[in-house]
């Protein structure tokens, strides 16, 4: 991935980044009353002076205009082609369902625009690699929506590990719950029941969690194996009470080996547990860290972090700069991710997760899906 200033200029006045105008954002598919764009991305961007809400699109122009008026966008358009080619758009944001990512991201890249795409990048590894290769050829900035990397608790764990709190990392153990893919699910998530759409439990909550763990340990997976099992034959749609087939795994058993040699094991279950919903334990030669949450995986927060070294009992560890009990952890994660992107663009840092980061995670998922319980190199 070419990590330099995009050929389409992101700045429009002055010679120094601090004197430049804001990065002009165009978001594909914004509805005034619902959707991830309006509930997370728009509030995050409105709080950041580094960005300007420039344009949005919706396939119904009246909906686009209503959303633009409500959120304060400069322009409303009714097609992706208009948005990605708009002269007042520097960064295209893609927050729609995964099956649409390849077409929309490709259109934005072909227009020479930088792109923030929500995770998963593609429905499969092949599509993700194609988008990453095109972004490198175009020389634009990219970011993938692995928001947990921007979460203060995960960041603090990364610092503790880097500072030697646990010593040499020996292993990590994870229990997680998918929340969805259980006894019932909302109709909006029905499309996740088709394995070809690339949005099932292994692609979303499991993948987010493994990415957060690897980030906290500052290590990459070298090999992985997994067993995917569907124990529930059906699930029920919340709104209609319709019973539909559950064609994706609701049980994931995973074993992976990191570059350091550390072993990672995990069990993810569909739905929610009446016992443990999230438990991540890092075992080291000098200490241990434990991250728990009453919700099912790292993307939703609610964390409790604790740890202990030799001669200590397990004790709570305070996280500096956390969101606080009254803040929305989802919007907070997205906001901090945009701050990383702004820093990379304005000051040449290298903090954001890119499309290259996405390809690495897609390779892990691909290895799990194809392993059949046999360890595969990544």
CATH 3.30.360.10 intervals, the chain: 149-322
* pLDDT band per the 50, 70, 90 thresholds, residue 325: low
Span of 30-44, 85-99, 250-264 with lowest mean pLDDT: 30-44
Q: For residue 219, what pLDDT is reported?
A: 98
- pTM for this prediction: 0.92
Crossing angle of helices 355-371 and 205-217, rounded to 10°: 120
* CATH architecture of residue range(s) 17-145+334-353: 3-Layer(aba) Sandwich (3.40)
* pLDDT band per the 50, 70, 90 thresholds, residue 20: low
Residues 76 and 68: their CA atoms lie apart, in Å, by: 6
Sheet holding 75-77, edge to edge: 75-77, 51-57, 23-28, 91-94, 114-118, 142-145
Does residue 176 surpass a pLDDT of 50? yes
Residues 231 and 248: their CA atoms lie apart, in Å, by: 10
Q: In the chain, at which residue ranges do the beta strands (DSSP E only) sit?
A: 23-28, 51-57, 75-77, 91-94, 114-118, 142-145, 169-177, 184-185, 221-229, 234-237, 243-245, 251-258, 263-269, 278-284, 287-293, 304-309, 315-316, 376-377
CATH 3.40.50.720 intervals, the chain: 17-145+334-353
Dihedrals phi, psi of 83, to nearest 5 degrees: -70, -50
Query: Residues 34-51: what's their mean pLDDT?
Result: 94
What single-letter DSSP state applies at residue 359? H
Does residue 246 surpass a pLDDT of 70? yes
Sheet holding 184-185, edge to edge: 184-185, 234-237, 243-245
Residue-wise pLDDT tens digits, 303-323: 999 999 999 999 999 998 766
- Let me know: does 57 contact 64? Beta carbons within 8 Å: yes
Q: For residue 375, what pLDDT is reported?
A: 79
The closest of 207, 329, 197 to 268, measured between CA atoms, is: 207
Q: Which fold has domain 149-322?
A: Dihydrodipicolinate Reductase; domain 2 (3.30.360)
Q: For residue 14, what pLDDT is reported?
A: 34
């Amino acid at each position: 991935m070419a990590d330099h200033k995009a050929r389409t200029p992101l700045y429009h006045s002055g010679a120094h980044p601090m004197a430049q105008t804001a990065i002009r954002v165009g978001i594909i598919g914004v509805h005034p009353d619902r959707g991830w764009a309006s509930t997370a991305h728009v509030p995050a961007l409105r709080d950041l002076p580094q960005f300007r809400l420039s344009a949005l699109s919706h396939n119904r122009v009246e909906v686009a205009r209503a959303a633009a008026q409500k959120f304060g966008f400069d322009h409303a358009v009714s097609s992706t082609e208009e948005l990605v080619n708009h002269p007042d758009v520097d960064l295209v944001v893609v927050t729609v369902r995964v099956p649409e990512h390849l077409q929309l991201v490709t259109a934005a890249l072909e227009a020479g625009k930088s792109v923030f795409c929500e995770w998963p990048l593609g429905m499969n590894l092949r599509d993700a690699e194609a988008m990453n290769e095109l972004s490198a050829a175009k020389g634009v900035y990219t970011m993938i929506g692995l928001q947990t990397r921007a979460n203060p608790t995960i960041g603090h764990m990364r610092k503790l590990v880097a500072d030697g709190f646990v010593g040499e990392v020996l292993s990590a153990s994870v229990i997680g719950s998918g929340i969805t893919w259980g006894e019932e699910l909302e109709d909006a998530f029905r499309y996740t029941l088709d394995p070809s759409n690339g949005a099932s439990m292994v692609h979303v909550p499991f993948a987010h969690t493994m990415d957060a763990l690897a980030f906290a340990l500052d290590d990459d997976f070298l090999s992985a194996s997994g067993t995917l099992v569907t124990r529930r034959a059906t699930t029920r749609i919340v709104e209609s009470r319709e019973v539909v087939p559950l064609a994706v795994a609701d049980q994931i058993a995973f074993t992976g080996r990191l570059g350091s040699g550390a072993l990672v094991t995990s069990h993810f279950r569909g739905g929610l547990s009446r016992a443990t919903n999230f438990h991540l334990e890092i075992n080291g030669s000098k200490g241990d860290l434990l991250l728990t949450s009453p919700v099912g995986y790292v993307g939703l927060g609610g964390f409790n972090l604790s740890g202990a070294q030799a001669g200590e009992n397990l004790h709570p560890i305070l996280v500096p700069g956390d969101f606080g009990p009254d803040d929305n952890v989802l919007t907070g994660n997205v906001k901090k991710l945009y701050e990383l992107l702004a820093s990379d663009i304005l000051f040449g840092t290298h903090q954001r997760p890119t499309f290259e980061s996405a390809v690495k995670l897609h390779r892990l998922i691909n290895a799990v899906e194809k392993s059949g319980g046999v360890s595969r190199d990544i």
